[in-house]
Amino acid sequence: MSEYLPQEVLIEIFLRLPIKSIIQCTSVCKSWYSLITSPNFISVHLNNQDDYLLVRHCSGKPVKEIYALFSDNENFDQYAQFDFPFECYSHFNIVGSCNGLLCLSDDLSCYRDLYYIWNPSIRKTVKLPEPIFTFETHGPFDHTLGFGFDSVTDDYKVVRIVHIDTGDNVDRVPPHVELYKLSTGVWHDITPVSPSYKFFRQTPGIYVNGACHWFASQQVRFGRYMIVLFDVHEETFWEMMVPDCLNKKFFGLCGEGFVLFVSDESLSLAESSFANDKTIDIWMMKEYGDPESWVKQFSISLSDVSFNVGVVDEIFSLLNGGRQRQVAHFLAKPIASRKNGEFLWRVDNGLLVSYDPEAEIIKNLGIHNDNCLTYRNALYVNTYKASLILLGKQTDYSAGETCEDLSSLCKKEGKGGRKVHKGNTKRGLRIVSP
């Protein structure tokens, strides 16, 4: 059939099909398979997809991980739910989501060091090889990760920042850094570009504008906190200034009062002050990399927005002969923004709610994450587009192991990373030297 239809017509036909049908078309003939699995078609297909909100929450008895897509409309309608093929000790840490791929890590308990890149839309998984720095090779450590897309080389990368426990000076020693590339299937030791910062353990970097971002403590001036970013293409670390009025607040804090997230495709910051007024300030960087462009979007007084979400106080009922009262809760952490200008927040009891900062109205979206200590931070929301990335990669969905064209995953590259880029070409950013 492809002999009678121009390739442009075939592409238009394929783009109108659901993903399941597109995958079935790869079995028709070799030419269709080559066309559908080509980087060009996969890119065009991705850009042709609608945006959804991916929500991961842990709930049920027994508790299980649920991954579902929701339409960002008034009713927050569920569009689809993915089969989740993995098992782990508690729940996976979502390192990040980009172009329909999720990077998952099973490292919240013990030193398991299991990492996956998963495309739930096409049921394809790549299991990453064992990293270079492990408990067996280097002893106890703390670490954090980031996941992002290199648009220049069309590659997906995972950066792993590891603080080896060296005793009393652990907070003064620059971390080891390794980088996994989907294109090569191996970990690269890039410790020579490691910044002299202490990163917070198991707090994944926020990916926006081609870089992963973290809060970190400057080791030379301990107690000074900055935003440190890793440029996914250049593979270098940079410093980013926070709003001037927050500089003093960064001294002497453990960093838990500050949360990075993405709002309207821009880097955003939530700063919680519990000293006197108990408020949360939301900041947005209007022009990426320009420290003068930080703008305070709005402030929330927790005492003013505590609200009733229809949850019965079971302890009160038990102690008062079955009488019931409902519990007032408060916003705990911003997660993402919506197209209508509202913000998605995790409530202190695990609920996902939508907050309208102009009307100061809170809407319960009916998604309740288990609130026990193990799962409290499992609630995750990010924009999502269904994609065909990993299609054509020979992977085992159930086990996550790769074979054939990604067989090099079982190999590990030797140490000796790339040189530090000495230039300072990014306005508003400063290169971090080890």
pLDDT in tens, 287-306: 999 989 999 999 887 666 65
Arithmetic mean of pLDDT, 381-395:
89
Cα separation, 55 vs 84, whole angstroms: 13
Q: Average pLDDT, stretch 222-226?
A: 68
AA letter at 208: V
Q: By three-state DSSP, how is residue 237 classified?
A: strand
- For residue 402, give the DSSP letter: B
Which two tokens mark 100? 């329909």
Mean pLDDT of 125-141: 86
Q: What is the DSSP string of 330-370?
A: -EEEEEEE-TTS-EEEEETTSEEEEEETTTTEEEEEEEE--
My answer on whether omega of the bond before 243 falls inside 30° of 0, hence cis, is: no
Architecture of domain 1-48: Up-down Bundle (1.20)
124 and 141 Cβ atoms separated by less than 8 Å: no
**Residue ranges covered by each domain of the chain:** 1-48
Quick one: pLDDT at residue 87?
81
**pLDDT at residue 220 in the model:** 55
Mean pLDDT of 263-284: 82
Give the tens place of pLDDT for each residue, 407-424.
222 233 333 333 333 334
Element spanning 39, H or E: helix 39-47
| Range 16-26 average pLDDT | 95
pTM of the model: 0.84
d(CA 173, CA 153): 32
Rounded-to-integer distance, Cα 86 and Cα 270, Å: 32
What's the pLDDT at 10? Answer: 94
For every residue of 79-111, DSSP letters joined together read EEEE------SS--EEEEEETTEEEEEE-SSSS
Question: In this structure, what are the phi and psi dihedrals at residue 186, rounded to the nearest 5 degrees?
Answer: -135, 160
Can you tell me the mean pLDDT for 314-318?
46
Which whole number is the average pLDDT over 156-170?
81
Does pLDDT of 228 surpass 70?
Answer: yes
Q: Point out the least confidently predicted range of 162-166, 205-209, 239-243, 382-386.
A: 162-166
Q: Among candidates 24, 31, 41, 22, which has minimal Cα distance to 3?
A: 31
In this structure, how many other beta carbons lie within 10 angstroms of the beta carbon of residue 298?
A: 13
Which amino acid is located at 309 in the chain? V
Mean pLDDT of 43-62: 92
Mean pLDDT, rounded, for 93-117: 87
The answer on pLDDT for 312 being more than 50 is: no
Nearest to 119 by CA among 390, 409, 380, 402: 390
pLDDT of residue 63: 80
